[in-house]
Structure 1
Amino acid sequence: MKILALEFSSAQRSVAVLEEGAGAGAAVLGEASETGTRATRAFGLIEEALRQARFEREQIECLAVGLGPGSYVGIRLAISLAQGWQLARPVQLLGASSAEGLAVQAQADGLRGRIGVVIDAQRGEFYLADYELTATARREVGPLRLVPGAEVLARQQAGVTLLGPEVAQWFPGSRMLFPRAAAIGQLAQGRRDFIAGEKLEPIYLREARFVKAPPPRVGIPQREGSP
């Protein structure tokens, strides 16, 4: 299966083209990324990755989308691209956790033992997921959750390796690692739990809170001469 992976959940956006094979992982045939620009050149990144892979758009069979957590705007853009692609062409869609993608990257980079994937959730909170990495296996030992900074710091003081996008600015000594589309594509390999475009949603662990505005006060007009 030929996969186009989109990962826009952080300040570093990337697109990758992969092809499933008989080996342990999907082969990355093309990858393009950009960092720090305000406007994402989404179609430019897609065209560059396809050019490297020597694929045409019509050859793509599956789009894999990094669902975060992270930049809500970036994730929504990736989802919109996937939805539009599915409307225009007969492709399958898959969603994957950007946090798990970071664990995949950490394992590929040679990290071993307990790691904590940390992503800024704003409001003084962080998304945290714990993994145990070996040379041949990756095991989630703590599910993705929202925690205060003190809990992340306690993990670091206990000897857990922290990693994530821009994490070092809050926890010095941590490993800076941005989610990559290639890792999202690797997570998509072998999966067949395809999803309709309208079912793709960003990973967002906070409950939606709405404050109902009070009804407008309507003044009763007074008759002339009344008190």
Structure 2
Amino acid sequence: MGRQDKSSMWILAIDFSSPKKGVCVYPVNDSWAPGSGFRVPLPGAIEVFDGPSTPLVPFRLIDSALATAGIKPENVGGIVIGSGPGSYTGIRVAIAIAQGWKIAFGPREIRFFQIPSYEAIIANAAAQGIRGDVSVIIDAQQNELYLAKFKITNNSWSETEALHIVPAAMIGKLTQGTIVVGPDSENWVADGVNVYPSVAYLAYAALKSTPITDPSNLTPIYLRQPGFKKAPPPRTLHMEL
């Protein structure tokens, strides 16, 4: 993709929730009005990815996307992060970048957004031609998986079962009769289809979302109840004087 019009407003989309870490920059015209619909590839979007074997180096990805677009950080007027679920560390890194951007360019108006990463997975699946009853699964650690179900038609997709956590051992039974998609889903289901979040979709979806004024309010999706281990009683150390 060649260099774009620098006078456009640009959205920076970041998703580090899955093994396929991605960044996208997307030019926005006509007062942030969305286009005719999401599709892959999204016209004007510049996406840069790193695979599972590559350590996360966030600003290398961001710098690469900005350089390809021929723009500078100050051209970014909106930042959208994939809020998960997925890698909690990766999502927190994306949030920290958004918060740092606010500090660096605070005097200018910057709009912040968060879009669920699993929504970006189902949008990617739909754009790739998958149709019917679809289950999205994401590793939740501790031998558990996040699961949400959708219906994809030629014109739209809709959620039919809300995101929740299930035992990994039950996933075959719980997803029976559906197409299973998600990051590394074939590791969990024999006929799973590996589909990762579309960072271009995050940028597109931001156009139809309400911005968050303060990036400190960006929060990861994390359904697991926090668990705490009771600390051992304090020890008394006797010293000989």
What's the TM-score once normalised by structure 2's chain length?
Answer: 0.84
Q: Is the 8 A contact 1:107 1:133 kept in 2?
A: yes
SS in 1 for 2:196: coil
* Aligned counterpart, 1:170: 188
**Amino acid corresponding to residue 178 of structure 1 in structure 2:** Y
Match of 2:148 among 122, 129, 133: 129
**Is residue 13 of structure 1 aligned with residue 29 of structure 2?**
no
1:80 to 96, 119, 142: 96
Counterpart mapping for 1:1-227 below 5 A? 1-20=9-28, 21=33, 23-25=35-37, 27-89=43-105, 90=108, 91-156=110-175, 158-218=176-236
Contact persistence 2:79–2:111 (CA under 8 A): yes
For the residue of structure 1 that corresponds to 2:208, the secondary structure is coil
Deviations 1:5-63 (A, max 9, x none): 00111111110011345522474431111112453221121122122223221111110
1:13, 1:180 within 8 Å by CA — same for their partners in 2? no
Letter of the structure 1 residue corresponding to residue 19 of structure 2: A
Q: Percent identity?
A: 35
Give structure 1 stretches of 5+ with no counterpart. 222-227
The answer (yes or no) to whether the contact 1:63–1:92 under 8 Å persists in 2 is yes
Q: TM-score, normalised by structure 1?
A: 0.89
1:151-203 Cα distance to aligned partner (Å, 9 max, x none): 421144x3200001111012111101122311221221222232411111211
In structure 2, give the amino acid aligned to 1:8: F
CA 1:110–1:87 in 2, change beyond 3 Å: closer, same or farther? same
1:5 touches 1:17 (CA, 8 Å); kept in 2? yes
Whichever residue aligns with residue 175 of structure 1, its letter is V
Residues 61-107 of structure 1: CA distance to partner in whole angstroms, max 9, x if unpaired?
11000111111111111111111001111311111111111011011
SS at match of 2:36: coil
Secondary structure, counterpart of 1:69 in structure 2: coil
Shift in CA distance, 22/69, structure 1 to aligned 2, threshold 3 Å: closer
Question: Which has the higher Rg, Structure 1 or Structure 2?
Answer: 1
**Distance in 2 of aligned mates of 1:13 and 1:34:** 5
CA shift for structure 1 position 213: 1.1
Number of positions where the alignment pairs a residue of Structure 1 with one of Structure 2: 221
Tell me, which stretches of 5 or more residues in structure 2 are unaligned?
1-8
Alpha-carbon contact 2:22-2:61 (below 8 Å) kept: yes
Distance 1:35 1:219, change over 3 A: closer
Taking the aligned partners of 1:36 and 1:44, their CA distance within structure 2 comes to: 16
* Structure 1 CA distance for aligned equivalents of residues 167 and 157 of structure 2: 25
Task: Supply the RMSD in Å over aligned alpha carbons.
Answer: 2.0
Q: 1:148 Cα shift?
A: 1.2
